[in-house]
Chain A
Amino acid sequence: GQQVMQIPQYQHVQEGEDFTTYCNSSTTLSNIQWYKQRPGGHPVFLIQLVKSGEVKKQKRLTFQFGEAKKNSSLHITATQTTDVGTYFCASEGFGNEKLTFGTGTRLTIIP
């Protein structure tokens, strides 16, 4: 079945530093979604990318979808304590119609 690998598993950064998490697939993806789960909470949808090479921004967050549609990244500029949580990528392969989630990157911030 389709697998989406996500790295790193954990990331500890000083407040104000940047943070990046990566998702990689061995197969071409129809789209990529990103979710954030706060400690003790549930996953919340952030964004969906569909087009090859697509880049979208939400304030300090930048999302990219690779040219080959096999990888994606989420970059946070100048992290804040509100960014704490686990970030998941998720994707459908073509025709699958269901999401496969990456294992997540847990971000902790050192004040």
Chain B
Amino acid sequence: DADVTQTPRNRITKTGKRIMLECSQTKGHDRMYWYRQDPGLGLRLIYYSFDVKDINKGEISDGYSVSRQAQAKFSLSLESAIPNQTALYFCATSDLSEQYFGPGTRLTVT
């Protein structure tokens, strides 16, 4: 089984809709992250959490919110989706070094 899972894997939604992307990990790590990937822009950090009670904004947090429900679960919400949030979203977890990424969620906002 995969160490980091993301649901859904693909999603098409309309402008203005609320959507939640979910992430679960079985690595037992405290640290979890949400990234967004756009062509030519690499991976940009949206939010990160170093433990259940810790939530931090990344470089592009506007328009997003997160919830750390448990050590193993970290969800990303778009309260009112807009077309420029169309992207590939990755969840990741780490101990103190390497990051383990989920398979990604491809989100399209029409």
Q: Which residues of A contact B (CB under 8 A)?
A: 1, 6, 9, 33, 35, 41-45, 48, 88, 90, 97-104
Contacts and interface: CB of A to CB of B under 8 A. Distances in A.
Given A42-B103, A48-B98, A103 B42 contact: yes
Q: A-B pairs with the 7 shortest C-beta distances? A: A45-B98, A103-B42, A42-B101, A101-B43, A101-B42, A43-B101, A104-B42
Contacts of A98: 33, 45, 48, 56, 58
B99 A45 contact: yes
Nearest to B103: A42
A33 to B, nearest CB: 7
Contact of B40 (A35, A41, A103): A103
Contacts, number: 45
Interface of B: 33, 35, 40-45, 48, 50, 56, 58-59, 90, 97-104
Contacts of B45: 98-100
Contact of A42 (B59, B90, B98): B90
Nearest to A4: B42
8 contacts: A42-B104, A43-B43, A45-B99, A45-B100, A90-B99, A98-B56, A101-B43, A102-B42
Nearest to B56: A98
A48 B96 CA distance: 11
Contact of B42 (A41, A44, A88, A97): A88
Contacts of B101: 42-44
A83 to B, nearest CB: 19
